[in-house]
Amino acid sequence: MSTNMIDSTLPVNVEKKESKLAKIGQFREIGLLAFIIMLMIAVQMRNSSFLTIENMTDMMTNTAILLILAVGMMLVLVTRGIDLSIGATLALSGMVVAQFVSNHPQTSPLVAILMGIGIGIVCGLVIGGLVSFLGVLPIIATLAMMNIYRGMTYMVSDGKWISSYQMPENFVGIATSKILGINSLVVIVIIVYIVAFYFIGHTRTGRQIYAVGSNPESAKVTGVSEKKIFLLVYTVMGGLAGLSGVLWVSKFASAQGDTATGFELSVIAACILGGVSIAGGAGKLSGVILGAMLIGILNNALPLLNVSPFWQKGIEGCIILAAILLNVMVKRGVEQNNLLRRRV
Amino acid sequence: MTSKIEESYVHRRLEAHRPLTAKHVFLQWEWLLVLIFVGVLVMNTMLSPYFLNITSLRDATMVFLDKSFIVFPMAFIMIMKEIDISVGSTVALSSVGMATAYNVFGLPMEAAIVVCLVVGALCGLFNGFLITKFPELSAVIVTLATMILYRGIAYIILEDQASGNFPEWFGFFGWGYVYGVPFILIVFVGIAIAFGLLLHKTTFGRKVFAIGHNDVTSKFSGVNVKKTKLIVYTLAGLMAAVTAVFLASRMGSTRPNIANAYELDVIAMAALGGISTAGGKGRLIGTVIAIFIVGYLQYGLGLINIPSQTLMIVIGALLLFAVVVPKIKDLRKS
């Protein structure tokens, strides 16, 4: 606030050129899409098995879980928070549900999914309570809970794996079955995104999330309960992580103590690539979809290009860093142009 | 108006000369820590008959003190209301750098240690550079990105191999004694005193506190905020490299996946030591006690074969405890 006021009283150098970087901001989604298409063409030229229907459906189902989690992470980031615990929440819900269905093979898939969501919601509620009622910093609260949930996963499983032969067929079928000819994972993603699209853009609570993120003080003045919003976003995030846990275990047909370790970083990366602002208040579902798709394509294409798997992490780190810095530059450019416009 | 200013002046003077009543001496976070520490020792003694003898207590320090070097610069960073979660990756990258310098480039071990320290300091410097150059970005996200990046580079260099074959004298760092005292303990005491003096007795330390209280006002009162942050982050990288030297020496080799989740332990120790995550508050003596609490707790639970995954829960719970207890006090006040 105070720095803004000081800046606007300073004489503005009118000679300054308009920042070209700001234009990237206007065409972010199209730019990202163009980049994805270019990347796909480049990969296809190196390896012709990339653009086959088989590989494409493979990629879609592999990216599905990332896409689901990215919605929740977007909401958390919009409120200026962060959630590092989702990998652990995912593992915990996956493990508990896998143990339950292996002991009760008659469980219907729907019950298993609801169970996973329930566990995730409880996990998320704990974090939301810490952040909203006790005022713990999101990074500290989720770092601590990440380890607690991960430790609980190991305790629940006693260090053992649940493998595919212990799981009933209809449970594994959650990820492999088809609804109307489309893989059910993809169907679930579409449902999640339709609900999220309506919730974020067309309900009062959805808009309040953005209000809290873009300006907490004025949101408070207009009567938005910050605590309620924080509790809500972390709970939604937890619920989605719980859902993903069931899908993950069903898809890979195994539940382990170290399931999805570090997956939260990929999710955050997808959001940042998709243009979700770390400073809060900004983020679009379309951007998040593209960001997650880009990560999914990279994960799929790197092995096809014979890139050593050990390079993957380094490449991911570089991309995230580049995306963050590009975001900042674009934002600076936009602000500089706005300043110029005000003078003229 | 004038009376108000006078009032605040008087108030400030009183703050500066805190009265030495029994209430002020004993109602402090550090005493709670001492109590917890005694509790941990008592619990461990009851759990294992092998715990409470001087050799075991002394040798345990060799196992848990390595990560404690990072706690001090992390305390500085948290006092400045920032955070650094890339320290674990910095440990991995600098130790991999050392092993590569020694095994691949054939440098003498002394030079390899210098390489390790330089790599660590550079990692910290890069964090600091990004954070000061782009103040819009939170430290969380910058160090999150570099956390992935540094670990990724370590994987690119070593893949999944271990690299070791260090000369025999290098083991002294991890296992050596000087007059019956573990070498690592001596280094720890030296570094603790140095950081304690830096934070509490120098203008640099006052600047760190000032930035934590309010970075805008400290900027306008002539504190070079960027320079201070840059120095502190570089120190964090350097201390991570010191950790890397001791860790590699103790293990005899290094891998890209070492020091995983060290950031949690380090942040937990600092928070437990009374460093407020809201910035501007904390004393290093608390972190020293906290280091020994966490260390002996891990050691004691290890003695009775508690799996390391359960220890994760304990550390996470300790971190929450340290962060939540002061908040509850605040809530009651309001």
Contact A111, B281 (CB under 8 A): no
Res A123: pLDDT: 94
Chain A residues 123-152 within an 8 A CB cutoff of chain B: 130, 134-137, 139-141, 143-148, 150-152
Does A317 sit within 8 Å of B148, measured CB to CB?
Answer: yes
Closest-CA distance, B250 to chain A, in angstroms, reads 25
Q: Could you report how far apart the first and last alpha carbons of chain B are, in Å?
A: 27
Residue B24: pLDDT band with limits 50, 70, 90: low
Name the average pLDDT for chain A.
84
A139, A151, A311 ranked by CB distance to B312: nearest:
A151
Res B202: pLDDT: 92
Residue A24: pLDDT band with limits 50, 70, 90: low
Interface size between A and B, measured as CB pairs under 8 A: 137
Residue B269, domain member (yes or no): yes
How far apart (Å, rounded) are the C-alpha atoms in residues B112 and B118? 10
Residue B9, domain member (yes or no): no
Q: Is the pLDDT of residue B196 over 80?
A: yes
Closest-CA distance, A276 to chain B, in angstroms, reads 12
Average pLDDT on B25-46 reads 82
Determine the structural domain holding residue B120 and report its residue range. 28-327
Q: Is the pLDDT of residue B14 over 50?
A: no
Chain B residues 79-108 within an 8 A CB cutoff of chain A: 83, 85
Which tens digit of pLDDT belongs to each residue from B221-272? 888 999 999 999 999 999 999 999 999 998 888 988 888 888 888 998 998 8
Residue B3, domain member (yes or no): no
Share in percent of chain A as helix, strand, coil (round to 5): 75, 0, 25
How far apart (Å, rounded) are the C-alpha atoms in residues B232 and B237? 9
- Tally Cβ neighbours within 10 Å of residue A335: 15
Domain count of the fold of chain B: 1
Q: Considering only residues B125 and A272, tell me which one the structure prediction assigns the higher pLDDT.
A: B125
The ipTM (two decimal places) reads 0.81
Any CB–CB contact under 8 A between B325 and chain A?
A: no
Look up the pTM and report it. Answer: 0.85
Contact B41, B52 (CB under 8 A): yes
Q: List the CATH number of the domain containing B282.
A: 1.10.3470
Exposure on the CB side of residue B192, measured as CA atoms within 13 A = 21
Any CB–CB contact under 8 A between A318 and chain B?
A: yes
- Closest B-chain CA to A307: B156
Does B264 sit within 8 Å of A143, measured CB to CB?
Answer: yes
What value does the CA radius of gyration of chain B take, rounded to a whole number of Å? 21
| CA B63 vs CA A108, B91, B119, B205: distances in Å | 49, 16, 24, 30
Task: Name the amino acid, one letter, at B102.
Answer: Y
Per mean pLDDT, which range of A68-77, A187-196, B60-69, B77-86 is the poorest?
A: B60-69
* Reduced 3-state DSSP string for B261-301: CHHHHHHHHHHHCCCCCCCCCCCHHHHHHHHHHHHHHHHHH
May I ask the CATH architecture of the domain A30-35+52-327?
Orthogonal Bundle (1.10)
How far apart (Å, rounded) are the C-alpha atoms in residues B72 and B312? 22
Evaluate the CA torsion angle A209, A211, A215, A220 in order and state its sign.
negative
Does B145 sit within 8 Å of A140, measured CB to CB?
Answer: no
Contact B79, B218 (CB under 8 A): no
Q: Is the pLDDT of residue B4 over 70?
A: no
Residue A1: pLDDT band with limits 50, 70, 90: very low
How far apart (Å, rounded) are the C-alpha atoms in residues B170 and B298? 26
Residue B1: pLDDT band with limits 50, 70, 90: very low
- Tally Cβ neighbours within 10 Å of residue A243: 26
Which tens digit of pLDDT belongs to each residue from B274-316? 888 887 888 899 999 999 999 888 888 888 888 878 888 888 8
Q: Is the pLDDT of residue A25 over 50?
A: yes
Q: Is the pLDDT of residue A185 over 60?
A: yes
Q: Is the pLDDT of residue B18 over 70?
A: no
Res B52: pLDDT: 75
